[in-house]
Amino acid sequence: MTAHARSKSDKPSKTSKGPGRSLMERAALRSRSVLLFGPIESALTRDVVRQILILDQMSQSKPITVYVNSPGGLADDGFAIYDVLRFVRAPVTTVVTGLAASAATIVMVGAPQDRRFVLPHSRIMLHQPSTGIRGTASDIAISAKEILRLRHKANELFVRETGKPIDVIERDMHRDFWMSAQEAVDYGLLTKVVDSATDLPS
């Protein structure tokens, strides 16, 4: 996951528009599914949060399923989606479909501990936040302090969501920590490896 203060040169990715996207969105709304595919940045976060809030307004009793296939991205955006998943009243399920790495693991654990699922050939990767720090000595010192605070927040999140002690989480997140689907279940990040949509809770 990346700790990053967006500069003027950062350009949000363009989201496709047109009838094809509209049809897909309507189909997703009908099935109460949200696709989080690709790098986690502001444009994707905006779309995902909007869909989640719309689905929650449509029904607070029917579940929302978030499918995650992402290499990660901005930690702040990952936490933003996590917070919204916890904020809504509708039951939330997350399903990893391929890859959940870095900031995507924050989103992955946005569902309750008994509603996090993973497809058999998926991979999961935890690591500590990173940043490319530039600027004056004062700016670098401020950024270094902020990334330490972000690392602590991420560590505390995974302690809470896995039940593992802080020293284990700090050790494992110090470098890239890769897990298979079953290893992520055994680690406490996910509930179960599933082969079929019928295995998901209603």
pLDDT in tens, 88-132: 999 999 999 999 999 999 999 999 999 999 999 999 999 988 665
User: Which residue reads 């909007």 in tokens?
Assistant: 50
**pLDDT averaged over the chain?**
89
In the chain, which residue ranges form alpha helices assigned H by DSSP? 19-31, 42-58, 75-87, 103-108, 137-162, 166-173, 181-187
Quick check: is 9 catalytic? Answer: no
Which entry of 4, 122, 127, 143 is annotated as an active-site residue?
127
Which entry of 102, 121, 138, 143 is annotated as an active-site residue?
102
Q: Which residues contact 122 (CB under 8 A, 6 or more apart)?
A: 96, 97, 98, 99, 100, 181
Give 21's pLDDT tier (boundaries 50, 70, 90).
low
Tell me which of 3.20.20.80, 3.90.226.10, 2.40.160.20, 3.40.50.460 is the CATH number of domain 19-195: 3.90.226.10
Judge contact between 163 and 156, C-beta under 8 A: no
Domain-by-domain residue ranges, the chain? 19-195
The average pLDDT across 167-190 equals 98
**DSSP conformation class of 92:** E
Q: Which residues contact 56 (CB under 8 A, 6 or more apart)?
A: 64, 88, 89, 90
Residue 57 — φ and ψ, nearest 5°? -70, -35
Quick check: is 127 catalytic? Answer: yes
Q: Taking the CA atoms of 49, 50, 51 and 57 in sequence, report the sign of the dihedral they define.
A: positive
